[in-house]
Amino acid sequence: PSEVPPVVARAKPAEVERELRAQVERAMALGIRPTHLDSHMGALFTTPELIATYVKVAHDYRLPFLAMKTTPGGTPVPVSPKDVVLDAVVIAGPDVPRDQWKAFYVNAIANLTPGLTEMIVHLGHDDAELQAVTVDHEPYGSAWRQRDYDVVTSPEFKKALQDNKVRLVTWRELQKLTQQP
């Protein structure tokens, strides 16, 4: 589904678990070592049952996963002491005017507090292929993805990271933390 409510209405935890495992197994069969588990559009962060399924699969594969201490809806996430939990998430929403895109991200960097923050960006090029894939989807569509790409590759963004002493970390580095005894 292209929207979260139909997922929430129809998703069965056992089927979600089967699908998550199939995706991880398929990646591994292709020689891809997954770095973490995530939820497309945040659909798995909507009910306690789906959150528990998501965390269970991540734990079974010893993968870190996108999670905050509580979900936006207030549901606590069943984390273990070894899990890496985000302190904050930054994402440009549909309310950010196009001409303020770069300022939004630069200001977000300037206002970071100590801790682990994920900045979610959707990178892509506003070309015919991505336009066809994201047709009728202004939010997170091809132009949106091009703006995200343009910002994170801009000198201003890189300077903001440097000026604010932001240390970038990868999911692979976080994975190593979760696998220590």
pTM, entire model: 0.83
pLDDT digits (tens, 9 = 90+) for 87-102: 889 999 999 999 999 9
pLDDT digits (tens, 9 = 90+) for 24-50: 999 999 999 999 999 888 888 888 899
Above 80 in pLDDT, residue 2? no
Share of the chain above pLDDT 90, in %: 66
Sign of torsion over alpha carbons 125, 127, 131, 133: negative
SS3 86: strand
Q: How many beta carbons lie within 10 A of that of residue 105, not counting itself?
A: 24
Q: Is 99 exposed, middle or buried (0-12, 13-18, 19+ CB in 10 A)?
A: exposed
pLDDT digits (tens, 9 = 90+) for 118-169: 999 999 999 999 999 998 888 889 999 999 999 999 999 999 999 999 999 9
8 band by pLDDT with thresholds 50, 70 and 90 = confident
